[in-house]
Amino acid sequence: MELACSDAVWASLCRREWGSQAAEVEPIVNRVKGGWKEICRQLSTLQSAHWQQLPSGEQGPCRRASHSLLVADGKLVTIAGGCDGGRDLDDTWIADPGPLIQRPDDPPSLTWHLASAGEVPGRFGQCSVGVPERHTIVIFGGINDRGLRLNDTWAFDDVAGRGNATWRKLILPQAPAPRGAPGGCFGGDQKVVVFGGLSQDNARYADTWILDFALEPLSWRKVETDSGPQARSGHTMTWLGDGRIVLFGGRNMVFEMLNDVWVLDMNAPGGPKWQEIWSPERYPSDDAPVARSGHTATAVLGGKVIVIGGEDMSRNRKGDVWLLDPDAGSAPEKPLEAESAHTANGAGETLLDGPLTLGGAPIENGNLDTAGVVPEVATTPPRKVWQRLAVAGPSPSRRSFHAAVRLAGSSILLFGGMVDGELLPGQAGGLKFDDELWLLNLVG
């Protein structure tokens, strides 16, 4: 009874801390020894993170880079990209990620099916964003194999396949200028947000645009802000789920790599507002990733972001994994607060009434140790904006311009990219496209 109560308390605390995203880890609770408490510990520390290569299937997307990978309507979707010979791709592949979630210790190969080919003109370096309220994927911009920058906007409806899923071009009265390698992500409330990108003459943009599906007529709208990130391309933008977007890295107007961190507050009074939260100039003593582009930045539970790979100024590809905490420095670390008065389970049943207790003793300051007993009041060290993760297991080759997406709150799927290849005569370094699939498991 005491153990059941403990697990129910931790489940309640996790749901309050992670909100609706806590549902993503429910499928794995029963297979993790220690239940909710152990999941909370592992996702808080990430000390159990480990790589795992997935087996190849009979068919699927060919090797590629600068492509898109996302989850929409519960389906895994890969879109376009570039491949050998500098050719662009015009395909859309869909797979069910369920088996990976249900069998994490012995994951099967993904079963891909080709959902579309040729409907959207081929491209790489595009921005692809899922709009969950509309059950739609939006792609914008990119570069074709003739080097032409694009600014067309397309929507892929009914990803789950309940009807006839197809791409349709959106005819809009206004759009951002043609560009490749912009950053973009979901912005909440049916919004797609795009920043920056590479122009036709290889300049970089520093503009912010929003496509709001809740407004009629549908159109891109430029957002005027008092300040913001410098112009760049090859950066990432990551939706945290709480009204904020995190921007990291990229290459600027004079071709320098960047590693500054900005947050776009979509709910700021008067409209979206940019704020720089970290830069090497402001925090020169911090251990942080080198400046880079072509990396991935994936939100994980707890409002943090995992950055994987990319390439530096010398085009050296990276295989490092970093944890970015956007809240560090803006507020002191707080211990996990306990529920007071009433703690209820998902069915609305009261589990505890009065001061929260565990093992017969009240929980002071909300601190619980891993054994489920009440520890002494502990002070927590200052939170760091950046933390390099030591990831166990054989790891993927160093790579850039790959794609990654979170699966079920407890893992990140990585696909493709540009990796070190055979060194050819007259070249400073070899390069090849990749088609490997890797899981970064956050829970052991």
pTM: 0.86
Residue 72, pLDDT above cutoff 60: yes
Pull the structure tokens for residue 19: 């909100």
Compute the CA torsion angle 319, 107, 404, 114 (nearest 10 deg): 130
| Residue 133 banded pLDDT, cuts 50, 70, 90 | very high
Residue 334, pLDDT above cutoff 70: no
pLDDT of residue 336: 38
| Residue 163 banded pLDDT, cuts 50, 70, 90 | low
Tell which residue, 353, 406, 346, 313, has the closest CA to residue 36: 346
Q: Which alpha helices (DSSP H) does 294-381 contain, by range?
A: none
Residue 10, pLDDT above cutoff 60: yes
Residue 6, pLDDT above cutoff 60: yes
Q: What is the average pLDDT score of the chain? A: 84
pLDDT digits (tens, 9 = 90+) for 366-375: 344 434 433 3
Q: For the chain, which domains are there?
A: 2-45+334-362 (no CATH), 50-290+392-441 (2.120.10.80)
pLDDT digits (tens, 9 = 90+) for 383-420: 789 999 999 989 999 999 999 999 977 899 999 999 98
Contact 25, 301 (CB under 8 A): yes
pLDDT digits (tens, 9 = 90+) for 260-307: 999 999 999 999 999 999 999 999 999 999 999 999 999 998 899 999
Mean pLDDT comparison of 206-215, 345-354, 372-381, highest-scoring range: 206-215
pLDDT digits (tens, 9 = 90+) for 78-132: 999 999 888 999 999 999 998 887 776 778 889 999 999 999 999 999 999 999 9
Where is pLDDT greater, at 377 or 149? 149
- Strand runs labelled E in 291-395: 296-300, 304-311, 317-324, 342-344, 350-353, 357-358, 361-362, 386-388
pLDDT digits (tens, 9 = 90+) for 196-246: 999 999 999 999 999 999 999 999 999 998 899 999 999 999 999 999 999
Sign of CA dihedral 58, 59, 60, 61: positive
Q: Is 439 exposed, middle or buried (0-12, 13-18, 19+ CB in 10 A)?
A: buried
pLDDT of residue 106: 77
Mean pLDDT comparison of 23-32, 35-44, 133-142, 320-329, highest-scoring range: 133-142
Determine the Cα–Cα distance for residues 298 and 182; give it in Å rounded to an integer.
16
